[in-house]
């Protein structure tokens, strides 16, 4: 019994091992060899690097080529500009076509304009034939490259241009194989001319030629418009000179031919009244009116003469001391001042540049008016003063205490023959202030007035402190 128990206990204490099933042994994994993968990856990287280097070299080459073209563009542009910048008119066009031909290495260059409204004819302004400038000539633009330029922006045939324009005899005669032309466009966007280069061989390295041609086409347009404006100015100047000559002729007639009959009318009237005692009172009255009318006509002609001289006077400008000029005018007005018990007070006055005769006439007219239009019961008192205004101009003022006028007439009184009072009240022709205004304008200045009825008037004349060269040239011719 005990032995069974022992066995049983032994069996429990030491369990019997189970027989394991047989398994297929797992093969050992070989380590990965990275050497081949590294070689493949390295080769791909080198190929990509070489591709990038090649692309960079190509880009660099393109940049270098672009830089060279830019330098070439500016060098050529500067050379042409240097050859043409110091000349104008016909010389500009001659220098331009010669420079274009030389710089671009072509045989021919031309600038021309449309000669008529139909745009059928082109007139050359300058044509370079490889050796010299050819005299201007006309040619028909029909069936030529120029016709295309006049209807499009740019016309370019790098080679075989004669094949496209078989009827253009100029291309054949000059053996022209290539053509590049751009239009001349006016400021109002109208095509009116052509600037072109031509050669007896194909055009190469021409990428920037049209840009340079467009630049100088604009310059040609500016020059032609300047010349047209100058021609119009010359025409207007000639017309003005003709008008001035006509005015001078009138001055001669007014000062001699017209005044002579008036003097005879007055002389014969005096003889009749003095020597014929049998004249009826009515006849004497008629003769008196006739003489008065003749005297008024004589005064009118005298003032017209002064007005025309103010418009055509060509005496040279010089320094004028206004205080000295005013003293001379006072001497001329001495009797008129005594007659009216008048007084003129002169403050400090500047020295200006001007026409001495006209300046004296200006102040004579203004001061005599100030004396004339005074209050009947109050002697005239006139003040003359000067100051610099905000524009740096000398302002000379003549202020009186006379009858004054309504300022609504302050523009009208400067018109010729305009009067605010009848001849019975105040004598005069109505031209005096128009003469003053013309003289002020001749000196680059102006005249103005402020006034109140029964309070007097103040006339102010401005003179530039420095006379412009234009006025000097105008008055020193």
Collapsed DSSP state (helix, strand, coil) of residue 195: strand
Average the pLDDT over each of 63-67, 356-360, 438-442, 468-472 and give the range with the smallest value.
468-472
Summarize pLDDT for 162-207 with one digit per residue, the tens. Answer: 999 999 999 999 999 999 999 999 988 889 999 999 999 998 877 7
Same domain, 331 and 471: yes
Q: How many structural domains comprise the chain?
A: 2
The backbone torsions φ and ψ at residue 186, rounded to the nearest 5 degrees and listed phi first, read -75, 170
Question: What's the mean pLDDT when you consider all of the chain?
Answer: 82
On whether both 205 and 329 belong to a single domain, the answer is no
Q: Say yes or no to pLDDT of 157 above 90.
A: yes
Phi-psi region of 175 (alpha: psi -120 to 50; beta: other; left: phi over 0): left
Q: Tell me if 18 is assigned to some domain.
A: no
CB of 438 closer than 8 Å to CB of 311: yes
Whether the CB-CB separation of 88 and 223 falls below 8 Å is answered with yes
CATH number at residue 353: 3.30.565.10
Query: 326 with 201, same domain?
Result: no
Within-domain flag for 297: no
- Mode of pairing for the β-strands spanning 381-388 and 343-346: parallel
Is 334 within 8 Å of 427 (Cβ atoms)? no
Q: Are residues 325 and 443 in the same domain?
A: yes
pLDDT 10s digits, 293-350: 888 777 777 777 777 777 665 567 889 999 999 999 998 899 889 988 899 999 999 9
Look-up of token digits 């001849």: 423
Answer with the residue of higher pLDDT: 212 or 297.
212
Q: Which of 202, 222, 242 is the last residue of a domain?
A: 222
The enclosing domain of 113 has a CATH number of 3.30.450.40
Distance CA 192, CA 207 (A): 25
194 and 325 share one domain? no
pLDDT-based confidence at 392, cuts 50/70/90? confident
Kindly state whether residue 116 falls inside one of the protein's structural domains: yes
Confidence of residue 475 (pLDDT cuts 50, 70, 90): low
Q: How confident is the model at residue 67, as a pLDDT? A: 67
**Which range is least confidently modeled, 337-351, 372-386, 405-419?**
405-419
Strands 351-354 and 318-321: antiparallel
pLDDT recorded at residue 181? 94
Read off the pLDDT of each residue in 62-77 and give the average, rounded to a whole number.
69
Judgement on whether residues 203 and 94 belong to the same structural domain of the protein: yes
> If residue 386 lies in a helix (H) or strand (E), which one and from where to where?
strand 381-388
Is 2 part of a structural domain of the chain?
no
* Domain containing residue 376: 314-475
Same domain for 431 and 330? yes
pLDDT at residue 253 greater than cutoff 80: no
Domain end among 189, 222, 255 = 222
Domain assignment present for residue 76? The answer is no
Residues 200 and 319 grouped into a single domain: no
Do 215 and 115 lie in one domain? The reply is yes
For 305, the token pair is 């003469």
Please provide the DSSP assignment of 40-86 as one string.
Answer: HHHHHHHHHHHHHHHHHHHHHHHHHHHHHHHHHHHHHHHHHHHHHTT
- Choose one of 183, 204, 222: the last residue of a domain: 222
Query: Per-residue pLDDT for 149 more than 80?
Result: yes
Q: Both tokens of residue 373?
A: 């239009």
Residue 356 placed within a domain: yes
Residue 293, in any domain of the structure = no
pTM: 0.53
For residues 318 and 464, membership in a common domain is answered with yes
Q: Which residue has the higher pLDDT, 17 or 116?
A: 116
Residue 461 has pLDDT above 90, yes or no: yes
Instruction: Copy the structure tokens of residue 5.
Output: 């128990």
Instruction: For residues 428-432, give the mean pLDDT.
Output: 76
In a domain, 230, yes or no: no
């Amino acid at each position: 019994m005990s032995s069974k128990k022992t066995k049983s206990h032994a069996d429990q204490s030491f369990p019997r091992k189970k027989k394991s099933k047989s398994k297929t042994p797992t093969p050992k994994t070989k380590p990965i060899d990275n050497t081949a993968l590294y070689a493949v990856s390295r080769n791909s990287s080198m190929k990509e690097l070489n591709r990038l280097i090649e692309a960079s070299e190509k880009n660099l080459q393109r940049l270098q080529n672009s830089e060279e073209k830019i330098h070439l563009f500016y060098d050529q542009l500067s050379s042409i500009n240097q050859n043409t910048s110091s000349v104008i008119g016909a010389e500009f066009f001659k220098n331009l076509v010669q420079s274009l031909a030389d710089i671009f290495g072509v045989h021919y260059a031309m600038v021309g304009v449309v000669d008529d409204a139909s745009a059928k004819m082109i007139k050359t302004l300058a044509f370079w034939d490889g050796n010299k400038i050819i005299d201007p000539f006309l040619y028909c633009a029909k069936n030529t490259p120029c016709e295309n330029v006049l209807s499009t922006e740019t016309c370019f045939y790098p080679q075989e241009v004669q094949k496209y324009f078989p009827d253009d005899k100029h291309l054949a005669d000059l053996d022209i194989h290539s053509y590049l032309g751009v239009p001349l466009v006016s400021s109002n966007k109208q095509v009116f001319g052509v600037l072109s280069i031509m050669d007896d061989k194909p055009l190469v390295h021409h990428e920037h030629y049209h840009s340079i041609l467009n630049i100088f086409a604009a310059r040609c347009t500016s020059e032609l418009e300047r010349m047209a404006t100058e021609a119009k100015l010359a025409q207007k100047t000639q017309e003005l000179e003709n008008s001035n000559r006509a005015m001078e002729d009138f001055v001669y007639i007014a000062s001699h031919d017209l005044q002579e009959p008036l003097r005879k009318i007055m002389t014969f009237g005096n003889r009749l009244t003095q020597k014929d005692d049998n004249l009826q009172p009515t006849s004497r009255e008629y003769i008196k009116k006739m003489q008065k009318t003749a005297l008024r006509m004589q005064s009118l002609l005298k003032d017209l003469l002064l007005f025309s001289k103010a418009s055509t006077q060509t005496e040279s400008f010089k320094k004028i001391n206004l205080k000295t000029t005013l003293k001379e005018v006072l001497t001329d007005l001495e009797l008129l001042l005594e007659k009216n018990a008048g007084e003129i007070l002169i403050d400090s006055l500047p020295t200006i540049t001007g026409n001495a005769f006209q300046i004296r006439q200006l102040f004579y007219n203004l001061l005599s008016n100030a004396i004339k239009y005074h209050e009947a019961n109050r002697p005239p008192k006139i003040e003359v003063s000067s100051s610099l205004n905000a524009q740096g101009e000398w302002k000379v003022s003549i202020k009186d205490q006379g009858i004054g006028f309504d300022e609504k007439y302050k523009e009208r009184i400067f018109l010729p023959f305009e009067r605010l009072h009848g001849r019975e009240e105040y004598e005069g022709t109505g031209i005096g202030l128009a003469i003053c205004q013309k003289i002020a304008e001749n000196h680059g200045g102006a005249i103005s007035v402020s006034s109140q009825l029964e309070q007097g008037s103040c006339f102010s004349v401005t003179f530039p402190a420095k006379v412009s060269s234009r006025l000097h040239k105008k008055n020193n011719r």
